[in-house]
Chain A
Amino acid sequence: MKEFLMIALGVLIFVVIFQIAKASEYVSVLKGEEKTRKQNNKINAFMLIGLLVFGLIGVWYCNELYYGKTLFPQGSASVEGEQIDTMLYITIAITGVVFVITQILLFWFCFKYQEKDGQKAFYFPHNTKLELIWTTVPAIFLTVLVVFGLKYWFKITGDAPKDAIVVEVTGHQFAWEFRYPGADKVLGKTNYKLYTAKNNLGVDFEDPASLDDIHVNTTMHIPVGVPVKMVIHSQDVIHDVGLPHFRLKMDAVPGIPTTQWFTPKITTAEMKKKTGNPEFNFEIACDQLCGSSHYAMRGVIIVETMEEYKKWLAEQKSEHSVLFPVTPVEPNVPDSAAKQISQTVPVKK
């Protein structure tokens, strides 16, 4: 019913506009088309200047409303991200000035030089000096932006520091998984052909380096103040490790490992206090469309102090020991058979 009323209202408004539009055409014929045209010209010129004024107020108002909600008042959660924020502020300053000046000129000229009786347009087909000025000035400003941008770009995309903690991040539809190298600080090899439902990252347990590796789902822990290097894989389609709070992003591409590194500078607990939001979490957002549940491909990063991190790490069991538990009491086969029975019971009921 509500929808029906809405449609009826829409049609009604439409009919009214159409009738007014038709009537105004007749009126213009009666009044003289030239006169109506000039009147419309004045109204439109006036509205253009109105658009400028209200537009600029709107830009300011929008900033008031939403700047506080962006991530920038919180500051970057990574050391590298600070450079990106600086770069962003430089770019906003330069483009902001250009935006305001050009929009003012555009609408001001439209208003000032609207058609008037007796006004003649000025024949001004070109002027080499002016054209040179607005070729070189933008070029200079762009050079500044390129120089700053590339300086930060090379720093951020350069090699990770040698003491960085390495975490392997793997994306698949629609979750994130993480592997930490154990005490040997070397990640065991993987091969996608070794994939099974249990060993879902295809870890090659023939490789001795894999024996102490730790495998966790969805939530990764990292210590504050130490560079972290992510080695990123995908198992199926392209995903993207999006880290909005750390100002970073890197695709996960099947068959081509990628890397990104950053130094977290604030812990999750501190962030909860800073934002006044006890629910706060650093999230990993998949930023590359990967299928129907792309929007729910969420990971969590817990940044904690070194002691907390070490404690957490010590509590984790190695993947090998989870998959192949050394249980002297019962061998594996009866165990899984027992599981099967226990699974079938509820079905029979």
Chain B
Amino acid sequence: MSSAATLQHADVHGSHDAHHEHHHHETFITKYVFSQDHKMIAKQFLVTGIIWAIIGGLFSVVFRLQLGYPESTFPWLEDLLGHWAAGGKLKPEFYYALVTMHGTILVFFVLTAGLSGTFANFLIPLQIGARDMASPMLNMLSYWFFFLASTIMFASLFVQTGPASGGWTIYPPLSALGDASSGSKIGMDLWLVSMAMFIVSSLLGGLNYITTILNMRTKGMSMTRLPLTIWALFFTAVLGVLSFPVLLSGAILLLFDRNLGTSFYLSDIVIAGKILPNEGGSAILFQHLFWFLGHPEVYIILLPAMGMSSEIISVNSRKPIFGYMAMVGSVFAIAILAFLVWAHHMFVTGLNPFLGSVFVLLTLLIAVPSAIKVFNWLTTLWRANIRFTPGMLFAIGFVSLFISGGLTGIFLGNSALDLHLHDTYFVVAHFHIVMGVASFFGMFAGVYHWFPKMFGRYLNNTMAFIHFWVTIVGAYLIFWPMHYQGLSGMPRRYYDFSGWSSFNMFNGLNEFISLVAMIVFAVQLLFVFNFFYSMFKGRKVTDSNPWGSNTLEWTTPINPGHGNWPGEIPEVHRGAYDYAKDGKEFIPQNVPVGDDESKAH
């Protein structure tokens, strides 16, 4: 198979080189819509991801209004949402729909497709020295399946009974029975169909990334010379390819239970006064299937952010990343462990305590490779010569957030503590910091760092600095105090706490969090504006290697065409991190090893 791929590859080279000589015969449609150029597909993923991020972020602002001001009414909400906010107050059912869609959109459509879809597509061929992906056609289909999934999910927002409202984890029986919740009617079917399309997209992309990385590296680019971004994207793709099919099977069984009368997840149920005939199913089975994807999914989101932060920190520290092999090894260890810890989401489902203890051990084991990564990043910064580009600031922010959110994982992974903290605001704080905000920081770092390569222009620095500073301060202000709410046992996914005597001591805090959330959201809009404005009007890039970076993408022209390098693909002679070596500031990967050069350690 590998030789066939190589042959095809050579063929692609030939035709591309020919194209370059005779100029492209590209129409608007082939260049911008049904493009097979990995760079354009990356941009399509990024722009679609940004649109979804605005929608998902807006949802959180609307439900934060309810949490921050449970007593108030907002007449304009009724103008916007109609009967879902009759009298200017969100209905509980719609509140849950917003929470569900916020999670679904941000986890899958933004941080999976928008983050790894964008940067895997953009960086893999450029950084390994390939003209395009192994199969540009499948790559294009990957985007269009994502687009289809997006369209279906977007349509589900407008159905009469409302979109899915059972949480992004869609646990049955709630999600299986239309009588249990109005969001479990047609909205849930659309959710499942959309996710099936999404999984197809993710598989087409993932297989392509793996094949490309294994087969299409340029001459001299051995696996141990790959930039850490590529390693991270490689393991991300492996995780996705091995775990998404399990979710697909879980989703299909759920569709059967919903529409064909099967009992995979249903047993002994009386709902709305009706005795259901289903017997013998297990609601917990779904959780196993879901979290077998769901936990690797967390790393699918996080690993690309880690990889990009590693690269950006090294480039802007002007210093080699500390412990390259340990960094690769720890990503590998995280990827393996990601498959073995799923039941730590299920400590309170009545899981066998012995089984639980195995998952505690494996879960806390993840802290070891994570600690290695953190200390390696810190050592990279030690005795460096640091330039604070916007990308670098976001990468540093990523490390800070990864530490903060990672440490609270040690609380939740320990089953005894999880008995108290499970499904409280502590969990909300934990995963938003470590997976949500940290991954967003990785994504922002990537966008700021590679924007010049994507569009040949820079993003505006002043807006970038405002974006960074408000976002990092805001993120901590929003999520840090939530730990205290969680320690008080305050449950997540509550529409209103006013009926409870145990949870009503944080009303002022809730209002404060909502206020900060709105400010942070507004600043994200500033970023979106900066993004689109700079795409057309930003300062032009004049230097083909503006950051003084070693990796191959900066050896292409400022605005590379389809095929990336106009002439030969450069040959690689060294690893990606020869900064500060032998008194030279940086030595790009395509520079041959000099006779007088000291050996790498």
Of A120-128, A213-221, A337-345, which binds chain B?
A120-128
Evaluate whether A236 and B269 lie within 8 angstroms (CB atoms) in the complex, with A146-B361, A298-B500 already known. Answer: yes
- Nearest CB of A to B441, in Å: 13
Would you give the 0/1 interface string for A276-294, flagging 1 where the beta carbon is closer than 8 Å to chain B?
Answer: 0101110101111111111
A40 on the B face (CB < 8 A): yes
- Nearest CB of A to B385, in Å: 4
- Are A114 and B400 within 8 A (Cβ)? no
Question: Of B415, B469, B580, which one neighbours A153 at CB under 8 angstroms?
Answer: B415
Across the interface, name the chain B residue whose C-beta is closest to A197: B273
- Are A238 and B173 within 8 A (Cβ)? yes
A169 on the B face (CB < 8 A): no
Q: Which of A22, A106, A286 has the largest count of B CB atoms less than 10 A from its CB?
A: A106
A266 on the B face (CB < 8 A): no
The docked-state distance in angstroms from the alpha carbon of A122 to that of B375 is 17
B255 on the A face (CB < 8 A): no
- Nearest CB of A to B366, in Å: 10
What's the count of A-B pairs with C-beta under 8 Å?
375
Instruction: Please report which residues of chain A, range 131-155, place their CB below 8 angstroms from some CB of chain B when the two chains form the complex.
Output: 131, 134-135, 138-139, 142, 145-146, 149-150, 152-154
- Nearest CB of B to A134, in Å: 4
Evaluate whether A122 and B319 lie within 8 angstroms (CB atoms) in the complex, with A71-B488, A113-B382, A142-B364 already known. Answer: yes
The docked-state distance in angstroms from the alpha carbon of A149 to that of B323 is 32
- Are B580 and A192 within 8 A (Cβ)? no
The docked-state distance in angstroms from the alpha carbon of A156 to that of B515 is 40
Question: Of A115, A156, A258, A277, which one neighbours B350 at CB under 8 angstroms?
Answer: A258
- Are B416 and A152 within 8 A (Cβ)? yes
- Are B476 and A55 within 8 A (Cβ)? yes
- Are A195 and B270 within 8 A (Cβ)? yes
The docked-state distance in angstroms from the alpha carbon of A274 to that of B173 is 41
Interface size class of B (residues with CB under 8 A): 35 or more
The docked-state distance in angstroms from the alpha carbon of A242 to that of B324 is 45
- Are A290 and B174 within 8 A (Cβ)? yes
Instruction: Please report which residues of chain A, range 7-62, place their CB below 8 angstroms from some CB of chain B when the two chains form the complex.
Output: 10, 14, 17-18, 20-22, 24-25, 28, 37, 40-41, 44-45, 47-48, 51, 55, 58-59, 62
- Are A84 and B420 within 8 A (Cβ)? yes
B54 on the A face (CB < 8 A): no
- Are A66 and B481 within 8 A (Cβ)? yes
* Chain B residues within 8 Å of A226, by CB: none
- Are B497 and A295 within 8 A (Cβ)? yes
Across the interface, name the chain B residue whose C-beta is closest to A172: B270
Instruction: Please report which residues of chain B, range 351-396, place their CB below 8 angstroms from some CB of chain A when the two chains form the complex.
Output: 353, 356-357, 360-361, 364-365, 367-368, 371-372, 374-379, 381-388, 393, 396
- Nearest CB of B to A49, in Å: 12
The docked-state distance in angstroms from the alpha carbon of A283 to that of B423 is 16
- Are B416 and A255 within 8 A (Cβ)? no
A79 on the B face (CB < 8 A): no
* Chain A residues within 8 Å of B268, by CB: 192, 235, 254-255
* Chain A residues within 8 Å of B356, by CB: 153, 157
Q: Main secondary structure on chain A at its contact with chain B?
A: helix
The docked-state distance in angstroms from the alpha carbon of A130 to that of B379 is 10
By the criterion of a CB under 8 Å from any partner CB, how many residues of chain A are at the interface? 121
- Are B319 and A255 within 8 A (Cβ)? no
B7 on the A face (CB < 8 A): no
A202 on the B face (CB < 8 A): yes
Across the interface, name the chain A residue whose C-beta is closest to B584: A123
The docked-state distance in angstroms from the alpha carbon of A240 to that of B424 is 12
Across the interface, name the chain B residue whose C-beta is closest to A195: B270
The docked-state distance in angstroms from the alpha carbon of A238 to that of B169 is 13
- Are B414 and A146 within 8 A (Cβ)? yes
- Are A110 and B396 within 8 A (Cβ)? yes
Across the interface, name the chain A residue whose C-beta is closest to B522: A10
Question: Of A3, A244, A286, which one neighbours B502 at CB under 8 angstroms?
Answer: A244
A306 on the B face (CB < 8 A): no
B159 on the A face (CB < 8 A): no
- Nearest CB of A to B411, in Å: 5
- Are A291 and B180 within 8 A (Cβ)? yes
- Nearest CB of B to A306, in Å: 25
Across the interface, name the chain B residue whose C-beta is closest to A283: B502
Question: Of B92, B384, B422, B424, which one neighbours A293 at CB under 8 angstroms?
Answer: B92
Evaluate whether A149 and B501 lie within 8 angstroms (CB atoms) in the complex, with A244-B420, A249-B348 already known. Answer: no
The docked-state distance in angstroms from the alpha carbon of A81 to that of B419 is 10
* Chain A residues within 8 Å of B476, by CB: 55, 58
- Nearest CB of A to B130, in Å: 26
Can you name 21 A-B pairs with beta carbons within 8 Å? A25-B460, A62-B480, A71-B502, A87-B417, A123-B319, A125-B320, A125-B324, A125-B577, A142-B364, A142-B365, A149-B414, A153-B415, A156-B419, A236-B180, A240-B423, A249-B423, A255-B267, A258-B349, A285-B500, A289-B166, A295-B493
Beyond the given A58-B480, A142-B368, could you list 7 further A-B residue pairs with CB under 8 A, ordered by the A residue number? A17-B462, A91-B411, A109-B378, A130-B379, A150-B415, A255-B266, A289-B493
